[in-house]
Each structure stands twice: as C-alpha cells, then as structure tokens.
Structure 1
Amino acid sequence: MANTSVQDLLRKLPGVDALLQLEPLREALTQHPRKLLLESIRHVLEEQRQRILDPKGSGASVNLEPSHLVQLILQRLVQVSDYALRPVINATGIVIHTNLGRSLLPQEAIERLALLCRSYNNLEYDLEKGKRGSRYVHAEAILCELTGAEAALVVNNNAGAVFLVLNTLAQGKEVIVSRGQLVEIGGSFRIPDVMRSSGAILREVGCTNRTHARDYEGAINGETALLMKVHTSNYRIVGFSSEVSLEELTALGRTHGLLVIEDLGSGSFINFAPFGLQGEPTVQETVRGGADVVTFSGDKLLGGPQAGIILGRKSLIEKCKKNPLTRALRVDKMTLAVLEGTLRLYRDERLAMEQIPTLRMIATPLSVLEERAAKLAAMISGADAHSIFEVTVEPNASQVGGGSLPAQNLPTFVVAVRSERLSTQKVELFMRNYTPPLIGRIESDRFLMDARTLQDDEFTVIQQAFKSLLATIVTD
C-alpha cells in the first residue's frame, strides 16, 4: 500500500471525543462506567490503526464507517464489563468437571451460605462461654458423627491437608510410600512434590505395578515417621499388579510403632457399587480400617465445596491444629457454611442421593437420561423450521471426573447435532461463546450434549442458543 493511502486512512480515524458524541455511545454511558467506555474506544481505534499499518494487509478492507466502529466498541464494552467467573452449561457428561468448577452444591447448602454471608455469625465466637472460640469446631462434630473418627480438621484443599499432616507428623523424617501410588493430579501437582515441600523425606518402595508388605517392612528404620497409602483416584494399574491393603499396613504400623495415614483423594461417603462403579473405598470404611489419619477432598465425590478434610486420632488432629501453617491453610465462613450444609444431608442417605447434585447425577437411571435427551432433541428440532440440523438421540458414556473412578464409564444418552450448512467446529465455537456458554464435546463430527450433566432449567436456554445460531445461518 502506498504511504499516501496509509496516511489518508490514518487521518480518517475518528478521535475519541468525536466518537463519544455519537448517540449509541452516549446511551452506553448511562449503563457503563465512562472509564470502561473510553478503554473500549481506544482499544478499537488501536486495532484499526494496526490493521492500516500492517504491510501484509489491505487498507482498503478496513471499515472506518462510524456505525461499524460503534458496533465494535459496544462489543468490546460488553466483553470488558462482563464477569470473569461466569456460569456455564455443562453438557460434557463429566459430573465432577475440574475445569468447570467441580461439584454443584446442594440447594440447602446454598441457602445456608446466603444466610450466613448476609449476617454476622459465630465463626470464632463461643456462644456458650461468651468468648473467642475456634472456627474449626463448626464442621468437626458432624464429620466425626458421620465417619466414626475421633477428631476432624478442615483446610482449604486436599493438597493442603496432605501437606499439613506431613509437615506436622513427619518433618525431617522418612515417609514410606509405594512407588505405584506416587500420583500426579491435575496441574502437574505431584505427591512427591507435596512431600518434599512439607519437609518430609520420601522413601519409595516396591515396583510400579506390585508392592508387598515386606517392601514396607524392609524400608523401616530409625528415621521412619509413618507409612502412607495414597488412593490412586485418577488412574488404575491393571493386570499383573498388587498393593498392600490398609488393614495390612495398619497391622505393620502397630508392630513397629509407626503411624499410618491414607490419602483417599475423592473421599466418598457412599458405596457406588450398586451403580456399577467399583474400587472407591468409602471414608467410613477407611476410618474403620485403622488409619491414624485420613485425608480427602470436599468438592469431589462428597459433593461439597473445595476443602481438604483431615480425620483421625484426636491427639494427632490437635497437633495439626497447633501447627502455625494451619492459619495459612484455613477455610473461611463460606466454605464451612456450605460444607456443614452438605454434610447434614448425609444423615439420611436417601436424602443425600436426592439433594446432592453430584450423587444425583451419578445415580440417574438410564431410562430417565433417555427421556431427558429425547425431550431436549425435540426442543431443538422444534426450533429448526428449515431442518438445518440433524438431531439424534444416541447411547454414549459419561464419566464421574475429578480424578474419581477412572477408566469407568457410566452409560448415558446424548443429543447429537450436525449440519451440512455449518461445520461442527463452528457449532461448538458458537455455543461456547453464547451467554451462558454451552460446553459440549465433539465426537465423530457431531456436537454432543450429555443428558446426565444437564439441569432441567437449562433446556430452554439451550433451545434458545440453537435458535440464535439458526438465525445467523438463515440470515447468511
């Protein structure tokens, strides 16, 4: 492009003040802060300036019409005004979806949270004694009631729970762990790294696929603080494999006067075997199995908020509470409110299965999923007057997710959508950028929506999303 053409185009770029006088932008000032509008104007003008100056571009293609610039500015204004953390619709079929916020919370817990957040509360106040109390008592009693543990402590997440236990009970000492249990969870967070940071010294024993009691016993020495068992929540070793049971490990620990801790990871209070899912020990079973300390997450199979829960012998839990690091890992009133609200439902397992969304979604009968998928498919097809989409209901598989019950699928039904007029990738992109975003998955060149993780009040929203997409196709 000749320099004169570039200069001509640059001169045609309107100034900020001139754009602010346009009626649509003056109207925007009544709904948005002036600072955000100015940022949006400057952002769009700079984008156009860079397009004009781009030696590989064509300046003639730059649209500097005021109406077009206003449209770009208003789009930018909406983007910068929106919340960063937003609700999305989970159509992936992954119940505990780490990227999408893990477990949905029970309504009772949400209501309890709202009540305690809009009022003062006794977070660290002992109402009986009329003086300062401890925040850790609020969930402790019910955790002990439900699990049979002597004492409990809640911190900010399970990695923090493991870190605190090891730092308190094994700093500078050896911790013996099976090589096959040195797990890495999402975000490249590894058990060996947690142990190293805690000040404990890792002592690996056994082989990746097979570890025996004699491997632990052979590694015990004067520097050994405890024996550790880690439930491999996010993977499975199959075939020629074996591991030492908790009962064997606790017996070995008692023989040598060593503590035994188990990191359960997911922390289920429910036996999922009736739903075709195997290999997830319950917290209650682990406590009865004799572990001195048990740790697990609050926002996985428990179905509550992000939290790290520590159960165990009272003397050991008291040591953890007195560790200065506990303050750095402590939970706030919101976590405690939601956790207690969730735990109370477990007093009646039937009620828990009905009202805790994570449990309800896992246990939804296949016949119900087929009905729900058929309903959604009919709603989408009913909005498609031009038959642009091919919409079918098909059997598929869901996952529990969150590192829980890996390599085990739940049979489900999905709504599959494809079109000859629009690529599946464009359908997925449109849905992901819709408000609220609809997150599905692509499989065999079709956009899939799993009925298991969809909520009933989201069906109308999904139908409207497809109506909006159809409008763009018909217009084109």
Structure 2
Amino acid sequence: MRGLPAVHRLLGEPAVAAYGVLLGGGTLTRVARGVLEAERARVRSEGGEPAPYEELVARLLTRLAGEESAGLVAVVNAAGVLVHTNLGRAPLAAEALEEIVRIGAGYSNVEFDLCEGVRGSRYERVNALLREVTGAEDAVVVNNNAAAVLLVLDTFAKGREVVVARSQLVEIGGGFRIPDVLRKSGCTLVEVGATNKTYLADYARALTPETALLLRCHTSNYRIEGFTREVEAGELAALGRRVGLPVVEDLGSGTLVDLTRYGLPHEPTVQQVVEAGVDLVTFSGDKLLGGPQAGIVVGRRALVSRLRANPLLRALRVDKLTLAALAATLRLYVQPDALERIPLYHLLARPVERIEALLEGVRARLAGRVAADLQVEASLAFVGGGSLPTATIRSHALVVHPHTYDAETLARRLRESRPAIVGRLEGNAVLLDGRALRDEDVETIHDALARLLG
C-alpha cells in the first residue's frame, strides 16, 4: 500500500535497532511487519491515509517494549532517587561485577574445602568479611532482609511471644508489614508503648513465661517527631541480658558508614548497634551497603549457630553469584579510601557543581536543535530504598518543556528508549535529575532527546 514505509526503513531507526541486541533481528522484522499489516488493515476498513511515519515508529517501539517485558532492561535513573526500589536499588561496584563474571563463568569452591578436599561452608568467606567490618562474632546471609527476619523469628520465637514497640510496627515495600511477618512465623505479637512514646518499663511489664525475644525495628522509612520517646538499643539489650532473652534489631537499610559525612542525618550503623550489645542485627545487602540483594544477620556466635541449624535456611540461602558480589563489595569497606568505588557513595559524594556542569553541557549542545525549551535548575534528590525519608540531597535537573507533544508523551517515549530513561513529571515538563546519573548516562540522555525532539 502506498504511503506505508518499507520494513527496512523502520528497522533502520536507531531506537528500533537498539532492541536487536536482546530480541534478535527476526523478532524485530516480525513485529515491524505486524505493525504495518495492522495499519494496512485499518486503512482498508476505515479509509483515509496511513498514519504518519513517526506514529508508526512509536507503535513499533511500544510493541517491542512489550516483547521485551519478559526480560530486564537497562535504565538510566534520572528520577533523583539513588536507591530506587523499582529500578533495582543500589548499582554494583565494578569489583562486584568482575567477581560475578569470574565466579559465574565456570566452577567455584562455593561449598568445597580446597585444603581438606571435602564439603565446606558456602558462608565462611563472606562471614569472615562481615565479622571484620561489623565487629560481630558471627554472621549468616540469606536472600533478602525479610527472609533474615523470618529466619530469626522461626528459629527463636515460633509459637511464642515477641515484644515490639507500637511505634515500630513498620510496613515495608509491597504492603508487607512486621505484624504479618510475625504471624507468618508462627509468633504472637505483643505491642507495647504508645504510638509516640515507649519506655523501658513498657517492655519489662510485657514479659511473660511465653516471651521469646525482644524486637526493635528501625523506622528507616518514616519519622515520628515532636513529643516522642523510644528505648535505645543499649537499654533494651541490657534488659534482655538481665532477663535472659535475646534482643534482635531489624535495621532495614543497614548502613556501615557514618552518613553525616555526606551531609545526611545520622543513621545508626550496624557496628554501633552491635557495640550497643544487641544480640542479632538484620539488614539489607542492596540498599545502603551498596551490594547485591541479600539479607544479612550478624551477632552472637551461639545464636547465629542456631540460625545455621534451622532447615529453613536452605530454602532462603543465596547462590554463588550473590556471595561473590557481596564479598567483593565488603572488601571495599576494609580497604582505606576505597568506599567511593561503591557507586552509591560515589554518587553521594559528587559535588553539586559537577552535576550542574554535566547537565549544562547537554543543554548547550541541544539548544536550538530540538523542539523544546531547556533549562538546568536546582533540584532535590533522595536516598530512597526506604531510608532517610525526610532527608534531601542538593542536585540539579535538566528541565524539558517539549513543543511538539506533551510532557507525559515525552516521558513515555524516554521510557521506551533503550536504554530506558526514567525521569520525573512536573506540570508540562520532564525533569531529568542528575544526582544518580553516571557520566555515560549523560550522553544517553543527550542522544535520546536529540532523536525524540530533533
């Protein structure tokens, strides 16, 4: 039909060709022919002229995105959230990626003792690093922090009571709540204190012969301010020792460094909680630690040994690639001046002037060449990942006001680009925040805007 482009012309579009690496040329050709056939059938049925070429390309990109949806897609994070839960949380250090390739490409001694020639422990190598970094006596690693909490509760409190402050009954992502995790573990929740104030005496009064442990949940994803009081970790640990009950703290995001050096509010570190005398501490591997998804438990050796003896551990265990990436990340914590080789801390440390200069370079190169008004403006970024909910980080954003279509359409087309680009919508503008951008991401943004708005 006259007016419809040839298949090869559609396949020659850079945004379309980018899908070829993942989907293959055969799939691209099949989907492109499908778009043209559908438009041909529409014209025959309804009459009129075929859709404009740009519209056909947009339809093809939408269909290709659907074809690709079963797999993961690389994303440029211009949303201004460093530990973006929906975008994979913390990016991995180069050392972790290299270790994944090195170990994953062949066989490894994941559960083999090379000295004795017998079966070994998959946890020992990473546990040694965790002991060194946190100061804890022992450690165990499972597949995420919720699993770590589940393992602790199943091991020590199944069928018994767990005492938790009412102000710490947190809900994490996806609607999962601490009370639900407790019930699923077969525990009975005993709430103490008021929403805004909890005293040590509240815990002491709640103790019964059925009490199995005392649980603290760090409220990393919200803050209660004003007329408040909470029991510190050291106070609760002392009570636990006095009555012979283990004290467990779920730190959630679980930082290993003092975040105030990056201009952020103080967050208790894992080391501080261990030093305060808490018996077991659970935290995530892929948030403020900057490693792979994992749930980490550190604490007293006798208690960790009981966790290892729980058959549930086998269902929650991590694979060799997670162990490799986690060990490589932890090694950066024990090397002087290596912390900012972890991408999260490199991005946190980047001067705001550097961010402004990178985005200003994009704006200057596109000015007068695209159908949009472009400005670089000061913005505020966030740590994300359920941590530091009230803290903001100074940043800059490239603000794009498109002329030829609305901002929502531009945002969608940026998401359909490959790599996908995720920004923020504000009014009729797309904001592309620079705080979480790598240097190479800036070129990706430039090329996508030049193609979509040129």
Task: Using structure 2 for the length normalisation, give the TM-score.
Answer: 0.89
- 1:75-474 to structure 2, matched below 5 A, reads 76=63, 80=67, 84-348=71-335, 350-352=337-339, 354-381=340-367, 384-385=368-369, 388-471=371-454
Q: Name whichever of 261-270 and 452-461 sits farther off.
A: 452-461
Compared with structure 1, are the counterparts of its residues 40 and 80 closer, same or farther at alpha carbon in structure 2 (3 Å cutoff)?
farther
Distance of 1:368 and 1:69 partners within structure 2: 39
Shift of 1:155: 0.2
1:400 aligns to what SS in structure 2? strand
Instruction: State the Cα deviation string for residues 367-395 of structure 1 (Å, max 9, x = none).
Output: 322222322322332xx436x32211211
Instruction: State the Cα deviation string for residues 299-350 of structure 1 (Å, max 9, x = none).
Output: 0000000000000111111111111110110000010000000000001352
Larger radius of gyration: 1
Distance of 2:117 and 2:284 partners within structure 1: 33
Distance of 1:320 and 1:260 partners within structure 2: 15
Distance of 1:47 and 1:222 partners within structure 2: 73
Counterpart AA for 2:374: V
Distance of 1:172 and 1:179 partners within structure 2: 20
Contact 1:37 1:77 in 2 (8 A): no
Shift of 1:40: 7.8
Shift of 1:462: 1.1
Distance of 1:33 and 1:462 partners within structure 2: 25
Distance of 2:384 and 2:28 partners within structure 1: 39
Counterpart AA for 2:122: R
Compared with structure 1, are the counterparts of its residues 236 and 438 closer, same or farther at alpha carbon in structure 2 (3 Å cutoff)?
same
Distance of 1:77 and 1:299 partners within structure 2: 30
Compared with structure 1, are the counterparts of its residues 362 and 328 closer, same or farther at alpha carbon in structure 2 (3 Å cutoff)?
same
Shift of 1:48: 7.7
Equivalent residue pairs, number = 440
Distance of 1:372 and 1:78 partners within structure 2: 29
Shift of 1:70: 12
Q: Name whichever of 251-260 and 300-309 sits farther off.
A: 251-260
Shift of 1:275: 2.3
Distance of 1:455 and 1:417 partners within structure 2: 20
Distance of 1:373 and 1:32 partners within structure 2: 34
Shift of 1:416: 1.2
Distance of 1:77 and 1:438 partners within structure 2: 16
Compared with structure 1, are the counterparts of its residues 371 and 24 closer, same or farther at alpha carbon in structure 2 (3 Å cutoff)?
closer
Contact 1:228 1:261 in 2 (8 A): yes
Compared with structure 1, are the counterparts of its residues 209 and 139 closer, same or farther at alpha carbon in structure 2 (3 Å cutoff)?
same
Counterpart AA for 2:195: T
Shift of 1:415: 1.4
Shift of 1:45: 6.0
Counterpart AA for 1:290: G
Shift of 1:76: 4.4
Distance of 1:36 and 1:139 partners within structure 2: 43
5+ unaligned residues in a row in structure 2: which ranges?
2-6
Distance of 2:335 and 2:87 partners within structure 1: 28
1:442 aligns to what SS in structure 2? strand
Contact 1:44 1:72 in 2 (8 A): no
Compared with structure 1, are the counterparts of its residues 358 and 168 closer, same or farther at alpha carbon in structure 2 (3 Å cutoff)?
same
Distance of 2:417 and 2:271 partners within structure 1: 43
Contact 1:41 1:73 in 2 (8 A): no
Counterpart AA for 2:146: A
2:225 aligns to what SS in structure 1? coil
Contact 1:434 1:465 in 2 (8 A): yes
Distance of 1:441 and 1:72 partners within structure 2: 23
Compared with structure 1, are the counterparts of its residues 447 and 75 closer, same or farther at alpha carbon in structure 2 (3 Å cutoff)?
closer
Instruction: State the Cα deviation string for residues 4-40 of structure 1 (Å, max 9, x = none).
Output: xxxxxxxx9xxxxxxxxx9999x999x9587897788
What corresponds to 1:4 in structure 2?
none
Root-mean-square deviation over aligned CA pairs? 3.1
Contact 2:82 2:384 in 1 (8 A): yes
Distance of 1:23 and 1:377 partners within structure 2: 33
Task: Using structure 1 for the length normalisation, give the TM-score.
Answer: 0.85
Contact 2:39 2:50 in 1 (8 A): no
Distance of 1:379 and 1:272 partners within structure 2: 36
